[in-house]
Amino acid sequence: MLNVGSNDERATPARIRDAAISYVGKHGWDRATSRQIAAEAGVPVGLVNYHFGSKDGLRRACDDWVIERVGEDKGLLLSSGLFPQLDTYIEDHPELRPMSAYIAMSLRHGGSVADHLFESMVTLTKDTLELAADAGTMRRFDDPYAMAVLLVAYGAGASLFGPTIARLLGGTDLLDPATYARYGRTTIDLFTKPLLTHDPYQQSLPTPNDPDLPTPKDTP
């Protein structure tokens, strides 16, 4: 069962929410019932509706909490200026594994929930890029919104195909220290060194200030 705090006497709504994130990350919302989630949390099934109104209400609470935690973790990475040591970070944040599985399951399911998660992560990523540029730890992009969209898309791909990526990198779980180290080294190499030796395409593309380019408010 997911355990996000050091206090075993957590509030019942948090226990239900954490149990839902853990269960749905393995089975998906379509296959999850209030009774199964209540059993995962170790509470009577009636408390699910009592605290959240319905399964949909619980789902919204889970989505909102995951989005909030994603924002907190991005802020932590930015404030530290360094990538945290994976083993220590997972030990201190055991919710990462089920939360990662929950995000992947939500994105795989598609629909409004996936759109909401994706768009929220784009907003968080754009803010992080701009703060990092102000801090001098990242370069300033001509189109930070587009950069954020693409970075989230790449990250979503890693979430969706995590087991496959881990297998191709010689492991079984992307968050296993050895596998993640190889993934992390290559990611840092990709983001800190140019991929192309020269830029034959840039001149033919419209600039971010082109009035014909869509802006965030124009996107669905």
Helix 55-80 to helix 12-27 angle (10° resolution) is: 90
pTM here is 0.62
DSSP run (H or E) holding 220 = none
CA distance linking residue 117 with residue 63, whole number of Å: 7
Provide the residue count of the chain: 220
Average pLDDT rounded to a whole number, residues 42-46: 94
For residue 164 the two structure tokens come to 């496959």
pLDDT for residue 204 is more than 90: no
Stronger pLDDT, 211 or 199, i.e. the higher one: 199
Neighbours of 104 (CB within 10 A): 18
> Which residues are within 8 A (CB) of 159 and not within 5 positions of it... i.e. 6 or more apart?
100, 103, 104, 107
Which domains does the chain possess? 12-160 (1.10.357.10)
Q: In which residue are the tokens 């754009």 written?
A: 126
Contact 1, 19 (CB under 8 A): yes
Neighbours of 207 (CB within 10 A): 9
Which pLDDT tens digit goes with each residue over 80-91?
333 445 555 666
Which pLDDT tens digit goes with each residue over 170-179?
998 887 888 8
Which pLDDT tens digit goes with each residue over 87-116?
556 667 676 778 878 888 888 887 766 787
Residue whose C-alpha is closest to residue 62's, from 37, 90, 43: 37
